[in-house]
Structure 1
Amino acid sequence: MALVPYEGPGGLRHFHQPLAAFSFADRAIRIRQNWRQLGVAAVVWDAAVVLSAYLETGAVELQGHTVLELGAGTGLVGIVAALLGAHVTITDRKVALDFLKANVEANLPPDIQPRAVIKELTWGQNLGLFPPGEWDLILGADIVYLEETFEDLLHTLEHLSGLHSVILLACRIRYERDQAFLAMLGQLFTVTKVYYDPERDVYIYRAQKRLPTEDL
């Protein structure tokens, strides 16, 4: 299935630039992009920029906390979380790992790099390698777009999160199926919209497992 993402009037031109430059956590961040080689996994999406900016506001505690990023792609969100003091596990499919690792190592100072671990994670597979409930914060930027991945993504989120874990998903609501995913998520978690960027048309949703008594 071909994926042609909606990116507004500017189209996809900026995805073909070899570098994308940002400033987060008082540091210049330069992310290498390679749309031609890896497609959607190798470019910086607006949702990643919005989620990184949201983390920078201090809306969630990062210093010393454990964070896991799903579908990290270029690694921008995980890089920002590490710069802000988190211990981050940055994950994606095997095909994207070398590219992801290069961006992480290029943008994290040597003293911070030990706090960022890169691991393979294909949703719904080999979840036993990731102890359930280990992470304080689970992040995903623009990972809600392929309907055939929704069940595996939900299963992965359910496995990874404990009652204390907070999930933050940044996404653009493009189609009815995206709303359907949020409805599916709401069957397992308490879901609230915590932020909206009107310029980029990106929402951030917070999800957290319900206490057993909440389902009675």
Structure 2
Amino acid sequence: MPLIHSMALVPYVENPLPALSKLHNSSAQFRFANRDIRLAQDWKKLGVAAVVWDAAVVTCMYLELGGVELKGRRVIELGAGTGLVGIVAALMGAHVIITDREPALDFLSANVKTNLPADCRGSAVVSELSWGEGLERFPPGGFDLVLGADIVYLEDTFAPLLRTLEHLCSDTTAVLLACKIRYERDTAFLGMLRQRFRVEEVHYDKQRDIHVYKAQKLPPREDL
């Protein structure tokens, strides 16, 4: 899939391939956590940050399968885009910080507000997070679960993404990353991750070609 070669908020020219036409729709509808979810999309304005990718859908399916505990847990989503994964986590009882880069926040906030009932809105907060920057605003090791759907694709972001994961995770934090393995560099990122985290594949959606990996921090190595 040769689409994603630039930063997440760069708009793209209309692609004539029929398989990609759903990305150019102004909205996308789903049903998760026993609720209908309708998300605005804006490919022309915000590019890949403003459309729902298959990895987000597969992540939500995995959450519904009960792969991780959500009720009452402290959760943060990285590179949230339209907010689907964070919204579903909040609907399933988690306390979620839903993050993306600053240009996407108004769009993201509107989707969150539209799709969370009033009694659930306190469970989700939208916050700016550019990986590797301003991490002191987030409690070190302060989360039970870190979620990322289709955020592994741009080599320049790998090092700051790893720094971010290391900051957010304690020894008991679980990280769920859902992605396609498109290029050799994607496999290289998993290799980088395995130097600092214990990584296992916990789910594979064959139809959408999406892998879900669960990672947990390795204990610090003692110098011999």
TM over 0.5: yes
Shift of 1:57: 1.0
Given residue 212 of structure 2, which amino acid in structure 1 is its aligned partner? I
Residue 3 of structure 2 is matched in structure 1 by 4
Which runs of 5 or more residues in structure 2 are unaligned? 6-14
Instruction: State percent identity of aligned pairs.
Output: 61
Residue 196 of structure 1 is matched in structure 2 by 204
Shift of 1:4: 1.5
Kindly indicate whether the alpha-carbon contact (under 8 Å) linking 2:148 and 2:178 is maintained by their aligned counterparts in 1: yes
Distance (Å, rounded) in 2 between the aligned partners of 1:12 and 1:152: 29
For each residue in 1:2-58, what CA deviation from the matched residue of structure 2 results, as whole angstroms up to 9, or x when unmatched?
A: x71499x74321011011000000000001100000000000000000001100111
1:64/1:215 CA distance change after superposition, 3 Å: farther
1:114 equivalent in alignment to 2:113: no
Residue 207 of structure 1 is matched in structure 2 by 215
TM-score when scaled to structure 2? 0.92
Kindly indicate whether the alpha-carbon contact (under 8 Å) linking 2:70 and 2:93 is maintained by their aligned counterparts in 1: yes
Choose from 27, 32, 47 the match for 2:40: 32
Residue 78 of structure 2 is matched in structure 1 by 70
1:214/1:80 CA distance change after superposition, 3 Å: farther
Counterparts of 1:121-136 in structure 2 under 5 Å?
121-136=129-144
Counting matched residue pairs gives 213
Task: Point out 4+ residue stretches in structure 1 off by more than 6 angstroms.
Answer: 213-216
Shift of 1:211: 2.3
Distance (Å, rounded) in 1 between the aligned partners of 2:191 and 2:49: 26
Q: Could you say what the CA RMSD is over the residues aligned between the two structures, in angstroms? A: 1.8
Distance (Å, rounded) in 2 between the aligned partners of 1:107 and 1:215: 50
Q: Tell me which moved more, 52-61 or 172-181.
A: 52-61
Given residue 197 of structure 2, which amino acid in structure 1 is its aligned partner? F
Residue 162 of structure 1 is matched in structure 2 by 170
TM-score when scaled to structure 1? 0.95
Distance (Å, rounded) in 2 between the aligned partners of 1:208 and 1:121: 21
Residue 97 of structure 2 is matched in structure 1 by 89
Shift of 1:83: 0.3
Choose from 55, 63, 68 the match for 1:60: 68
SS in 2 for 1:111: helix
Distance (Å, rounded) in 1 between the aligned partners of 2:199 and 2:190: 8
Distance (Å, rounded) in 2 between the aligned partners of 1:152 and 1:162: 17
Counterparts of 1:9-20 in structure 2 under 5 Å?
10-20=18-28
